[in-house]
A and B are shown apart, each in its own frame.
Chain A
Amino acid sequence: MKSKKNWLRNDSVQALLCSLICVCIGIIIGYLVLLAIDPSGAGQAITAILKNWMNSSMANLRLKNLGSTLVNTAPLLLCSLSVLFAYKVGLFNIGASGQYCAGMTVALYAALAWHMNWVICMILAILAGAVVGAISGALKAYRNVSEVISGIMLNWIILYIANMVLSNVKESTSTYTLKMAQNAPQAILPTLGIDKLFNNFQYATIAIPLAIIVAILIWILLEKTKLGYELKATGLNKNAAKYAGMKENQNIILTMAISGALAGLAAACLYLTGITQWSTGTTSVPGMGFNGIAAAFLGGLSPIGSIISSYFIQHITLGGTSINLSVYPSQVADLMSAIIIYLCGFVAFFKLMLNKWLDKRESKGGK
Chain B
Amino acid sequence: MTTFVLLLQYTLIFASVLTLVALGGCYSEHSGVINIGLEGIMVMGALGGAMVMRFAPFTGFTLVIASMLGAMISGMIYSILLAFSAVNLQADQTIIGTAMNMLGLALATVIVKAVNMAENTSNVSSTMVYVEQKKSFIIRFGHFEFNWFMLIALIILVIAFIVLYKTRFGLRLQSCGEHPQAAASVGIDVYKMRWSGVLISGALGGLGGLVYILAGVSEWKFENGVAGFGFLAMAVMIFGQYKPLRIGVSAVLFGLFRALGSVYTGFPLLVALHLPSTVYNMLPYIVCLIILTFTSKNSRAPKADGIPYDKSSR
Contacts and interface: CB of A to CB of B under 8 A. Distances in A.
Interface string A316-349: 0000000001110101101101110110111011
Nearest to B94: A92
Nearest to B113: A329
A160 B276 CA distance: 11
A14 B292 CA distance: 40
Given A150-B292, A342-B100, A164 B238 contact: no
A346 B231 contact: no
A271 interface: no
A344 B91 CA distance: 9
Contacts of A143: 292-294, 296-297
Nearest to B85: A345
Contact of B278 (A139, A164, A285, A325): A164
A346 B85 contact: yes
12 contacts: A144-B297, A145-B296, A150-B292, A153-B288, A284-B225, A290-B102, A297-B95, A331-B113, A337-B102, A342-B95, A345-B95, A346-B91
A94 interface: yes
A346 B238 CA distance: 28
B94 A148 contact: yes
A37 interface: yes
B103 A338 contact: yes
Given A342-B95, A344-B99, 20 more contacts: A92-B98, A149-B234, A149-B288, A152-B231, A153-B231, A156-B282, A157-B289, A160-B281, A161-B278, A283-B227, A293-B95, A326-B121, A329-B126, A331-B109, A332-B106, A335-B103, A342-B99, A342-B100, A345-B92, A345-B95
A284 B124 contact: no
A344 B285 CA distance: 30
B158 interface: no
Interface of B: 36, 81, 85, 89-92, 94-96, 98-100, 102-103, 105-107, 109-110, 113-114, 117, 121, 124, 126, 223-225, 227-228, 231, 234-235, 238, 276, 278-279, 281-282, 285-286, 288-289, 292-294, 296-297, 299
A290 B235 contact: no
A327 B121 CA distance: 8
A81 to B, nearest CB: 17
A26 to B, nearest CB: 11
A284 B224 contact: yes
B91 A160 contact: no
A331 B43 CA distance: 15
A293 B282 CA distance: 25
Contacts of A218: none
Given A143-B293, A284-B223, A339 B95 contact: no
Interface centre among B110, B234, B286 (most CB of A within 10 A): B110
Of A154, A326, A346, most B-chain CB atoms within 10 Å: A346
A342 B103 contact: yes
A171 B106 CA distance: 31
Contact of B292 (A94, A149, A339): A149
Contacts of B281: 160
A150 B286 CA distance: 10
Contacts of B109: 329, 331, 334
Interface residues of A, number: 48
A155 interface: yes
A146 interface: yes
A25 interface: no
Given A145-B293, A153-B235, A94 B98 contact: yes
A133 to B, nearest CB: 15
A349 B117 contact: no
A157 B292 contact: no
Interface in A125-144: 139, 143-144
A64 B180 CA distance: 57
B99 A153 contact: no
Given A144-B296, A284-B224, A349-B90, A338 B278 contact: no
Contacts of B95: 293, 297, 341-342, 344-345
A334 B113 CA distance: 14
A157 B282 contact: yes
A326 B124 contact: yes
A33 interface: yes
Nearest to A140: B296
A285 B102 CA distance: 12
Given A94-B98, A145-B292, A156 B228 contact: yes
Interface string A344-364: 111011000000000000000
A37 B114 contact: yes
Contact of B102 (A33, A36, A341): A341
A222 B94 CA distance: 22
A334 B102 contact: yes
A335 B228 CA distance: 19
A328 B20 CA distance: 34
Nearest to B294: A143
B89 A349 contact: yes
Given A152-B228, A156-B227, A325-B124, A335 B107 contact: yes
Contacts of A327: 117
A163 interface: yes
A347 to B, nearest CB: 9
A3 B117 CA distance: 55
Contacts of A326: 117, 121, 124
A12 B81 CA distance: 27
Contacts of A284: 223-225, 227
A344 B90 CA distance: 13
A157 B96 contact: no
Contacts of A348: 90-92
